[in-house]
Amino acid sequence: MNPVIVALDVDSGARALQLADALHGSVGAFKVGSRLFTSEGPDLVTRLVDRGERVFLDLKFHDIPNTVAQAVEAAVATGAWMVNVHASGGVPMMQAAVRAGRDAAAKLGRPSPLVIAVTVLTSMDAPTLASVGVTRALDAQVETLATMARDAGMDGVVASPLETAAIRAACGPGFVIVTPGIRGASAGVSKDDQHRTMTPADAVKAGASYLVVGRPIIGAPDPKAAADAIAADALAALGTNA
């Protein structure tokens, strides 16, 4: 599968659907995050799914286990291919999310979504992490949360490309690693507010399963050309690893 997931971080459903049409066949999936979901609701996810697109519903659920389970169940009803929670919510919360995804999918007669956990946001650096009371080194915190997610039965995690190799070594080849913060020469733009970044090819070589790319594609003069270039870069790296 094409490993590129395009973040539809735009202000309207109409623009999101326009981008999805323009990028159809050039990317592997689309991400709907809190901005777009808040303005457009679950109907947009369903519309994308009905068009044959895979949707990563990126709402980062973080609440008591029962509430998260109910949220995951609602996400499954939209047809989302992947949903996420915060690993810092703890093992019982993650286990509840996994069960809810599996059970809701079985009731609806559809494949279970990938349920993954966010480790440490790519906008955070060591001083920011320390400011919220985490005394572990940043890479140690990411690896701790990733192994917690694995042990809770999660399908994978979201982590910066700089921690991908360590997670792959700790959690094994079948563990899904979704990597935002794709920047640098291959992506063609600055880091913006991302602190821990990597090029598409280097992220894949480090062990990333999927690459989440937003502004380098949707902000490009020709989004399809940008997506094709990033996908080609990533797929070539996959070929070198085969």
Per-residue model confidence as pLDDT tens digits over 198-241: 789 999 999 999 999 999 999 999 999 999 999 999 999 887 54
Phi-psi map region of 109: left, alpha, beta (phi>0 left; psi -120 to 50 alpha): left
Instruction: Give residue 167's pLDDT.
Output: 97
Query: Tokens 């079948």 sit at which residue?
Result: 174
Please report, as a single letter, which amino acid is at residue 82: M
Alpha-carbon distance of 98 to 208, in angstroms, equals: 21
Alpha-carbon distance of 231 to 242, in angstroms, equals: 16
Residue positions annotated with a catalytic role: 60
| Range(s) of the domain holding residue 95 | 4-241
201 is written with which tokens? 């090819």
Instruction: Give residue 198's pLDDT.
Output: 79
The pTM of this model reads 0.92
Ranges of the chain whose pLDDT falls below 50 = 184-191, 193-194, 241-242
The answer to whether the CB of 7 falls within 8 A of the CB of 218 is yes
Query: Whose CA is closest to 82, among 113, 51, 124?
Result: 113
Q: Secondary structure of the chain: what % helix, strand, coil (to 5)?
A: 50, 15, 35
CATH of residue 80's domain is 3.20.20.70
Number of domain units in the chain: 1
Instruction: Give residue 9's pLDDT.
Output: 95
Instruction: Give residue 240's pLDDT.
Output: 52
Alpha-carbon distance of 221 to 224, in angstroms, equals: 9
